[in-house]
Structure formats: structure tokens, C-alpha cells
């Protein structure tokens, strides 16, 4: 028998109305934050970056694919990985469906990772994806933007806090076929760029990481509206698998 509060329909409607006002407030706040993101100053990208793709080497400007806005998801798949991070893989599952709609608004979406391009493309085939995936293996791009580091740099950074890392980091490292140091040579995140039509200059307009990428995890939005919510407790993200690895 449930221990949750049970009420009449009239009481339920009254409680829902109160919550609706809070939800509307949250929506308006989200609109204001979106406006402030658009008003951030831009940073000129003066270094010429070249990344490897399925169609050969491409400069950062060429990744725009003829559009003026470029969104990059920094996917955790480092040089020592055998497979992509399971949580990052769950995020990438939505990309192919988004791309036509983003293109209609002059936006290109690309994933970037530090592993060699052959590894990325083989994993993309396994997962059934078709979005453009670029490798920064021979480029400073991911490192310069703070999403890749060497094993030595990573070890020095995380050894003092190793016991503070969440359990999912160790689970993901094992699932990716590497150790915790190799795993954390890559970080996840989202970066936006614009390309001016006048002089073909590239500008960095926005970046986020941590819970800032939850907008890319649509299942959380659904779970937040389910009766038990995310239901993660101490097992934060440990339930997330690659889409072909869930138990039936």
C-alpha cells in the first residue's frame, strides 16, 4: 500500500495550480538566461585548428559546413579508450534526430573526441549513428579548450582527489576499456562558435560542462516528471548504459 499522500481531485488541482506557477517562473528564468548567453562577449579563435573527419582533414571553419553557427559536443573518447563512455554515448543517441532541425536554423552540430578517427568511426558504426564526428588526436583543439589532457597531467590533477571521484567515473573507465587516468584525459562539455560571413573569422561564444550539459540528456527531463523522478540516490548515473547494453 502506498504511503504517498492521496487527495481528492479538487485538492489535486489546487496543488497542481500552485506548482504550475513555479514552473512558469522557471520557464521565464530560462528565457532570461538564454538571452544572457546570447549577449556574452565573443572570443576570437586566432589559432588555425585542423581535425580529422570521415571525409578527411577539416579546419575548424570547414566544420561549420556552410553555416554560420557551430555547436560541438566534446565526447569522452580518449586515445586509450577501446569504446566510448557509456554516459556520453547516451547523450549522443539524440544527435541524429536533432541535426535536420538545427540545420534549418543555420546551425551545425559536430562531436569532437581525442581518439584517432578510425576508432571513432568504428564505434559510430556499432552504435548506428551518422552524425559528423571529428578527431582532435593530431590537434591541440580539445586541449586548448580544456577538454583533453595528457595522462601525466591527468594523474597529477586527480591523484589528490581520487577518493572523491564518483563511482560512475570508475565504472565508465572500465566500460571504456581504460583506467581512471586514461579515462579522465578526456572531459565532456559543449562549446558554441560563430563564423562571420564578412571575413570568415571564427569566434568562441559559449561553453559549459558538468550539469550544464543536462539539456543534452532528454531522458532526465522525462524522469523528472515521472512519479519516482531520477531515482538515483547514491548511484548517480550508474544505471546509464549504452543503448545496446540494457538488460531486456
Q: Which set of grid coordinates corresponds to residue 184? A: 579522465
CA dist 217 and 67 (Å) reads 25
Give the residue-averaged pLDDT of 150-160: 96
% pLDDT > 70, the chain: 100
Polymer length in residues for the chain: 248
pLDDT at 153 over 70: yes
Give the residue-averaged pLDDT of 134-143: 97
pLDDT for the residue numbered 97: 98
pLDDT for the residue numbered 175: 98
pLDDT band per the 50, 70, 90 thresholds, residue 198: confident
C-alpha distances in Å from residue 54, one per residue of 51, 69, 79: 10, 21, 17
SS3 233: coil
pLDDT band per the 50, 70, 90 thresholds, residue 234: confident
Find the range with the poorest average confidence among 27-31, 81-85, 230-234. Answer: 230-234
Report pLDDT digits (tens) over 80-112. 999 999 999 999 999 999 999 999 999 999 999
Question: Please, which residues bridge with residue 44 across strands?
Answer: 203
% pLDDT > 90, the chain: 96
CA dist 194 and 206 (Å) reads 10
Asked if residue 63 lies in contact with residue 102, where contact means CB atoms within 8 angstroms, the answer is no
The residues, any chain, with a CB within 8 Å of residue 120's CB and separated by 6 or more, are: 77, 113, 133, 135
Asked if residue 204 lies in contact with residue 193, where contact means CB atoms within 8 angstroms, the answer is yes
Report pLDDT digits (tens) over 47-66. 999 999 999 999 999 999 99
Q: Which helix (H) or strand (E) holds 193?
A: strand 189-195
pLDDT for the residue numbered 205: 98
Q: pTM here?
A: 0.95
pLDDT for the residue numbered 248: 56
pLDDT for the residue numbered 247: 84
pLDDT for the residue numbered 224: 97
DSSP string, 101-148: HHHTTTEEEEEEESS-HHHHHHHHHHHT--S-EEE-TTSSHHHHTTSB
53-62, long-range: CB within 8 Å, 24+ apart, which pairs?
53/117, 53/132, 53/133, 53/134, 53/135, 54/117, 54/121, 54/132, 54/133, 58/134, 60/141, 60/193, 60/202, 61/195, 61/200, 61/202
**pLDDT, averaged across the chain:** 97
Report pLDDT digits (tens) over 164-194. 999 999 999 999 999 999 999 999 999 999 9
DSSP string, 25-74: HHHHHHHHHHHHHHTSPPEE--S--EEEETTEEEETTGGGTT-SEEEEEE
CA 20 from centroid of its chain's CA atoms? 29
Asked if residue 40 lies in contact with residue 206, where contact means CB atoms within 8 angstroms, the answer is yes
Amino acid at each position: 500500500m502506498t504511503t504517498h499522500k492521496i487527495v481528492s481531485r479538487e485538492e489535486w488541482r489546487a496543488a497542481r495550480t500552485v506548482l504550475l506557477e513555479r514552473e512558469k517562473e522557471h520557464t521565464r528564468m530560462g528565457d532570461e538566461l538564454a538571452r544572457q548567453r546570447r549577449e556574452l562577449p565573443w572570443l576570437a579563435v586566432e589559432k588555425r585548428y585542423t581535425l580529422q573527419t570521415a571525409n578527411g582533414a577539416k579546419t575548424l571553419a570547414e566544420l561549420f559546413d556552410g553555416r554560420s553557427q557551430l555547436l560541438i559536443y566534446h565526447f569522452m573518447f580518449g586515445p586509450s579508450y577501446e569504446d566510448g563512455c557509456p554516459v556520453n554515448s547516451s547523450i549522443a543517441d539524440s544527435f541524429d534526430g536533432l541535426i535536420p532541425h538545427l540545420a534549418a536554423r543555420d546551425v551545425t552540430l559536430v562531436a569532437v573526441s581525442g581518439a584517432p578517427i578510425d576508432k571513432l568511426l568504428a564505434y559510430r558504426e556499432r552504435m548506428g549513428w551518422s552524425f559528423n564526428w571529428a578527431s582532435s588526436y593530431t590537434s591541440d583543439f580539445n586541449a586548448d579548450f580544456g577538454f583533453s589532457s595528457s595522462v601525466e597531467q591527468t594523474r597529477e590533477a586527480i591523484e589528490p582527489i581520487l577518493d572523491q571521484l564518483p563511482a560512475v567515473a570508475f565504472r565508465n573507465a572500465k566500460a571504456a576499456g581504460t583506467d581512471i587516468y586514461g579515462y579522465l584525459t578526456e572531459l565532456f562539455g559543449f562549446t558554441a562558435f560563430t563564423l562571420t560571413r564578412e571575413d570568415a573569422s571564427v569566434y568562441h561564444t559559449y561553453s559549459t560542462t558538468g550539469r550544464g550539459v543536462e539539456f543534452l540528456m532528454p531522458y532526465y527531463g522525462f524522469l523528472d516528471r515521472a512519479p519516482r523522478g531520477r531515482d538515483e540516490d547514491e548511484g548517480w548515473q550508474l544505471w546509464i548504459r549504452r543503448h545496446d547494453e540494457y538488460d531486456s
